[in-house]
Amino acid sequence: MTKPVAATATLILVEECRLRLDDPVDRLLPELADRRVLRRIDGPLDDTVPASRQPGER
């Protein structure tokens, strides 16, 4: 029952312009800020660089 309640609450926040679906997630989930990506697709998992863009940007 929590999924329909969370979805309804989210839609209400979108309607009230308090939440935008295309906003960066960093403000709401700070643990996802400062993302890092692999330097090479076949490289070791500890060879990372800061991401140059937000997820979903083109």
Domain ranges of the chain: 24-52
Query: How is residue 3 written in tokens?
Result: 């999924």
The terminus-to-terminus CA distance of the chain in angstroms comes to 35
pLDDT bracket for residue 22 (50, 70, 90): confident
Look at 47 and 29; give whichever has higher pLDDT: 47
pLDDT bracket for residue 13 (50, 70, 90): very high
Query: How is residue 39 written in tokens?
Result: 């330097």
pLDDT of residue 53: 81
Q: How far is CA 50 from the centre of its chain?
A: 15
Beta strands in 1-58 (DSSP E): 36-38, 48-50
pLDDT of residue 41: 93
pLDDT bracket for residue 32 (50, 70, 90): confident
